[in-house]
Structure 1
Amino acid sequence: MMLIFLLVAGNAFARYTYGGSISWGEDTAIYLMIYGLMFGMSWAYLQDKHIGFDLIRRLLPAHWVRWQAVAVDLVVLAVGIGLMVSAVEFISARGGRTSSSTGMPMWLFQASMLLGGGLLSLSALVMGALRLSQPTDEEASS
């Protein structure tokens, strides 16, 4: 986040004081933001601090809440795998191009989807395993 801030602030400063900006600054800030989003979504899922549908959870009987969470983990796993498959197809179709602003191959930036999908899938597997290995309230009280 600090690097994104410095790039955007530096570009804005240069634009208004010198009349020009760093040619690769805008694109690099966007790519860094995408990588940050991909790491952030898997980190938030591992901490169980993601956006959820609590209304459904509150309406379920207590013994079903665990299974609803495991079902969500399975859906997130499928989404992560889908993101990885899409990323592979996208990279194979357009990864050979070079960024005009940075001069770097585009697959370096497009790989963020592959990495993000992999991390999200791994997060869903870990959370599902944790939920299944923890005893339910009924098992803990007996």
Structure 2
Amino acid sequence: MTGHCATLVRWIERIETGLVAVLVLAMVVLAGAQILLRNLFESGLSWADPLLRAMVLWAAMLGALAAARDDKHIGLDLVTHFVHGRTRRVLRVATLLFAAAMSAAMAWYGVGLVRLDVDSGAATAGIPNWVIEAIVPVGFGLLALRLAMRAFLPPRSDAPALAPELP
């Protein structure tokens, strides 16, 4: 990668990580406030629970993108523990491309979901549902792209998918 491209990639990764951190922190603060309000004052914020559910969806998608970026995504790669060399590389490419294709399909169907909610005009906590659900096609689309790119790059981590047994 050229210097400018590498710098841009690092900035995108920092922004991505920062968004996940801010989102999780906001979820903890909002959920904590909700618990305190319910237990101490027998009240709560009527919009907090639906907003927390939306925030969980966003955090999950952004977390999946970060995991794929760092090659730490969940992988069902039992066979790769028994093969080595070229066969292992071919299986890695095949599984990542399959995961990319499934993510692309989820993005496609996510667009349909968002279209349904754009037409319905429904809202959660004052936010149109289609805005909340927009992370589904966008997130899965980006995930498909990232997984396809990772298929042709060397693994970022040598960490095994399963932790070794302790003595």
In the alignment, structure 1 residue 5 sits paired with structure 2 residue 22: no
Structure 2 match to 1:98: 122
Identical residues among aligned pairs (%): 23
Number of residues of Structure 1 aligned to a counterpart in Structure 2: 130
TM-score between both structures, scaled by the size of structure 2: 0.72
Structure 1 match to 2:108: 85
- Asked whether the 8 Å contact 1:91–1:107 carries over to 2, the reply is yes
* Displaced runs of 4 or more, over 3 A: none
- Asked whether the 8 Å contact 1:39–1:119 carries over to 2, the reply is no
Q: Distance in 2 between matches of 1:50 and 1:110?
A: 22
Given candidates 94, 105, 119, the residue that maps to 1:71 is: 94
Q: Distance in 2 between matches of 1:63 and 1:79?
A: 24
Summarize the Cα distance change of 1:54–1:121 in structure 2 as closer, same or farther, 3 Å threshold: closer
- Report Cα offsets for 1:52-96 as digits up to 9, x if no partner: 234210222422011111001111111111111111111112233
Structure 2 match to 1:42: 65
Q: Distance in 1 between matches of 2:137 and 2:111?
A: 7
Structure 2 match to 1:135: none
CA RMSD of aligned residues (A): 1.5
Structure 1 gaps, min length 5: 132-142
Structure 2 match to 1:21: 44
Structure 2 gaps, min length 5: 1-23, 155-167
TM-score between both structures, scaled by the size of structure 1: 0.84
Q: Distance in 2 between matches of 1:50 and 1:65?
A: 17
SS in structure 1 opposite 2:122?
coil
Structure 2 match to 1:60: 83
